[in-house]
Each structure stands twice: as structure tokens, then as C-alpha cells.
Amino acid sequence: MRKIVFLDVDGTLINYETKCPDSAKKAVEQALDNGHKVYICTGCSKAEIEQRDLPRLSGMIGGNGAYVEDDGVVVMHQGLSKEDVRHIVDWCNERHLGFYLEANSGMYCNDYMLEQGPATMVKYATGKGADITKAEATASGFVNSFIHLQGEDLYREDVNKISFILSSYQDHLDSKTEFPHLIANTWGGKGELALFGDLGPTGITKKHAIEVLLDYLHADKADTISFGDAKIDLSMFELCAFNVAMGNGGEEIKAAADYITDDVDADGLYNAFKYLKLID
């Protein structure tokens, strides 16, 4: 029976130094050769994914569900309105919060992101177990990948979602109050420690995007398998027939999983693909 596999990216397909283990690449390639479909299902937008050294894939779900692509065909793309982008940009700037706009064309940041981003991304990587030297290099590369804009140039019409640095958890709570019509999430450090908040269009989740893709493929959710490491992946688990948590994942995702594999850097993806008989 051919399966449709959905992989979170950070902490699942790649590690917290943004490296894809060779065993994970091998697992995905073999699964595709065996006739299965393998998609990434990530909070990242296409521009960020294109900077990663990933294996061949069937397609992608990006922006936590805002963008769906199958074999190069755009199936769905629903982003933030320009009015919402303007409101979020002004709100973050007033609070002196670093942020970046996640679009398929690129990642666009404000002045504060250049100042605050490197230290925050080092916290992210080291909190997940990365070596400090490698974490600093990864953080520098991540921030340097941004396109720096100022003023009204940040009021863009092509934004999938916006991530912003939390000066405290209160920023996330306040964002939910300020933008009640949008979806507010957090992501970041060790376990479920929140370092970033993000805001995206309402109704957009990984679960919804998978439903859209399955309808496009005329496929049955009984044939779906999902892999994740964090709370944001729980919506995938709600829909898919079998769900795998990474060994490095948080307690909530592990509690919801049908199977817990090894850490991302301990051949977790490869071992799970073998267990599920996706590969020989």
C-alpha cells in the first residue's frame, strides 16, 4: 500500500543546526523510489526552504499551511492581507520587536531583527542541543539571509505569515488580543520554550493544508503518516492515520504520537521509515 508522508522540517527532517542527516536523505529517497509520496509540512515559507539542503520531495506545505505545492504545481496559496501586514509591522515596531515577513519571494526583516535576531537564534539552537560555535554560525547565516527593509517597504502584499521575537511571553498574549482574527502561535527553544511568536491568516493550519492536498490528489487520509517534534505539529496528528514523534520532541507531541522514534541526529527518521516498512 502506497503511503503519503508529511514531515515537519526543523527538528524532524533537519537538525537544529539546519543540517539534514545523510540517513534522513537516504530514507526519503528510498521511500520515493518505493512509490510513496513524501511532503514537507513546515512553518517555513518557500524562500527559506530553498536555502536548505533537502532531499528530493513530492512537494511541500509551507507557512504552517498557507502554501501547498505538489510536484511544482501550486495547489493553494493564502497569505495575510496588506492591511494586516501593515498593522503587524507597526505593532511590532512600536514594541521594538524584531520580526521577519515570510514570503515565497524572500524573508524580509526590520531593523530590530538585525539587532536581536543573532542572540535569539543562538538561544534557539543551543536550547535544542547544538554546539555553541555551530549555533553562532547557523544564527549568523539565518539572519544574513534576510532582506532588510524599512518604513513602508515592509507593507507587502505577498506575506504568508510573520514571526517576531518575544521580549516576554506577554508579547504573544498581547498579539492574540491585538489580532483576534488571526492565528497566533509560538515557537523556539528547548522543549516548548517560546522565543518567537507568529501570526498568520485564520483557518490556516497544517491539518487544513493536508486536507486540501488530499482532496487535490484524490487520496484517502487512511494512507497518511505524519512526523513532528512540537506542538505546532499536533494539527497534523489530528488528521493523519499514523503519527510519529521525534525523540527530541516535546512532551505534548510525544503523548499524542502512535510511535516515538529516535532523535533527529540519531537516525530517527531513517529508523522510523524502516519500522513503518516505507523502506527496506
Which residues of the chain does CATH 3.30.1240.10 include?
A: 82-201
Segments in the chain below pLDDT 70: 189-192
Nearest alpha carbon to residue 276 among 226, 235, 231: 226
- What pLDDT is stored for residue 124 in this prediction? 85
How far does CA 247 lie from the centroid of its chain?
18
- What pLDDT is stored for residue 264 in this prediction? 96
CATH of 82-201, one of 3.30.1240.10, 3.30.70.1060, 3.90.1150.220, 1.10.15.40: 3.30.1240.10
How far does CA 53 lie from the centroid of its chain?
15
The span from the first CA to the last CA of the chain, in angstroms, equals: 14
Which residues of the chain does CATH 3.40.50.1000 include?
A: 4-77+204-275
What are 40's strand-pairing partners? 7, 60
Nearest alpha carbon to residue 123 among 132, 114, 110: 132
Backbone angles phi, psi at 220, to 5 degrees: -105, 135
E strand or H helix at 107: strand 106-109
Whole-angstrom distance, CA of residue 19 vs CA of residue 31 = 20
The cell for 242 is 499514523
- What pLDDT is stored for residue 169 in this prediction? 95
Q: Which CATH superfamily is domain 4-77+204-275 in?
A: HAD superfamily/HAD-like (3.40.50.1000)
Whole-angstrom distance, CA of residue 168 vs CA of residue 188 = 12
Rg (CA), the chain: 18
Tell me which DSSP letter residue 2 carries: -
- What pLDDT is stored for residue 225 in this prediction? 98
- What pLDDT is stored for residue 192 in this prediction? 61
- What pLDDT is stored for residue 190 in this prediction? 57
